[in-house]
Amino acid sequence: MPTYWFRAKRYGWGWGLPSSWRGWGVLGAFAALSAAAFFAFPPNEKPGALFACIAALTVLLILICWLKGEPPRWRWGED
């Protein structure tokens, strides 16, 4: 059985908090890079660049969750 970096949520669709140190590292890197984007692209000066950077980081996080996380499906809490 593969070791998932992100477990599926108990209710709903998607992933919850990380279940391994690798997942926590990915989530920490996402948070750090998102914070750095606010310094690199100040919202009052370059809102488009900030939006594009945060959007790209979010797409990358979702892709990593999709590849390294438990397969997502709609859950109602039974498992």
Domain boundaries, the chain: 33-69
Residue-by-residue pLDDT tens, the chain, 79 positions: 678 999 998 899 999 999 999 999 999 999 999 999 999 999 999 999 999 999 999 999 999 999 999 998 888 877 6
Give the closest residue to 24 by CA, choosing from 61, 55, 58. Answer: 61
- The angle formed by the CA atoms of residues 42, 51 and 17, to the nearest 5 degrees, is 105
Task: Name every residue whose Cβ is closer than 8 Å to that of residue 73 and which is 6 or more positions away in sequence.
Answer: 8, 13
Cβ contacts of 71 within 8 Å, gap of 6 or more = 8
SS3 state of residue 15: strand
Query: What was the pLDDT predicted at 79?
Result: 60
Task: State the burial class of residue 2 (Cβ atoms within 10 Å of its Cβ: 0-12, 13-18, 19+).
Answer: exposed
